[in-house]
Structure 1
Amino acid sequence: MSADPQTPLRADAQRNRDQIIAAARAIFAEHGPEVPMEEIARAAGVGVGTLYRRFPDREALIRAVAVDNFTRVRDDARAASAEEPTCWSALVRLLYQSVDLQLSIQLAMLSIRAYEILREDPTIVALREDLLTEVESLVTGAQQEGHLRTDVGAGDVAMLFALLLRRIPSRKKHIAEMSTARNVAIMIDGLQSHPGTELPGHPLGRDDIH
Structure 2
Amino acid sequence: MVTEPEVPLRADARRNRDQILVAAREIFAERGAEVPMEEIARRASVGVGTLYRRFVDRDALIRAVFRDTFQAVADETRAALTEERTAWAALTRIMRQSAWLHVSVQAKSPRVTAVVGSDEETSRVRDELLDMLDEVVHRAQEEGSLRRDVGVGDLATLFVSVVHQNQSVTRDSAGFVPGRVLGIMMDGLRAPAHDELPGRPLTRDDLEFGPPG
TM-score, normalised relative to structure 1: 0.91
User: Within the alignment, does 1:162 sit opposite 2:154 as a pair?
Assistant: no
Partner of 1:175: 173
CA 1:167–1:113: 2 relative to 1, 3 Å? farther
SS in 2 for 1:151: coil
Higher relative contact order (CA 8 A, sep 6+): 2
Q: Which residue pairs with 1:147 in the alignment?
A: 145
Contact residue 154 and residue 206 of structure 1 kept, 8 A: yes
Q: 1:172: Cα distance to partner?
A: 4.3
Matched, 1:188 2:180: no
Does residue 114 of the first structure (1) align with residue 115 of the second (2)?
no
Give SS of 2:28's match.
helix
Aligned match of 1:55: 55
Residue aligning to 2:211? none
Alignment of 1:1-210 (within 5 A): 4-108=4-108, 111-169=109-167, 172-210=170-208
Q: Tell me how far 1:4 sits from its aligned partner.
A: 4.0
Aligned to 1:198, what secondary structure does the other structure show? coil
What letter matches 2:73 in structure 1? Answer: V
Q: Distance in 2 between matches of 1:105 and 1:140?
A: 27
Q: Describe the shift of the 1:167–1:115 C-alpha distance in structure 2 as closer, same or farther (beyond 3 A).
A: farther
Unaligned runs of 5+ in 2: 209-213
Distance 2:115 2:66 in 1: 9
Q: Would the aligned equivalents of 1:107 and 1:115 in 2 still touch at CA under 8 Å?
A: no
For residues 128 and 171 of structure 1, the distance between their equivalents in structure 2, rounded to whole angstroms, comes to 29
Q: What amino acid is aligned across from residue 154 of structure 1 in structure 2?
A: V
- Answer yes or no: is the 8 Å Cα contact 1:81–1:90 preserved in 2: yes
Structure 1 gaps of 5+ residues are: none
- How many percent of aligned residue pairs carry the same amino acid? 51
Distance in structure 2 (CA, Å) of the matches to 1:75 and 1:65? 15
Q: For 1:136-172, what per-residue CA distance to the aligned partner results, in whole angstroms no more than 9, with x for missing partners? A: 1011000001000001111111112223321333674
Task: State the superposition RMSD in angstroms.
Answer: 1.7
Give me the whole-angstrom Cα distance separating, in 2, the residues matched to 1:159 and 1:171.
Answer: 20
Q: Contact 2:98/2:159 (CA < 8 Å) preserved in 1? A: no
CA distance in 1 between counterparts of 2:99 and 2:5 reads 24
Shift of 1:174: 4.2
Q: How many residues align?
A: 206
One-letter amino acid matched to 2:58: R
SS in structure 1 opposite 2:167? coil
SS of residue in 2 equivalent to 1:96: helix
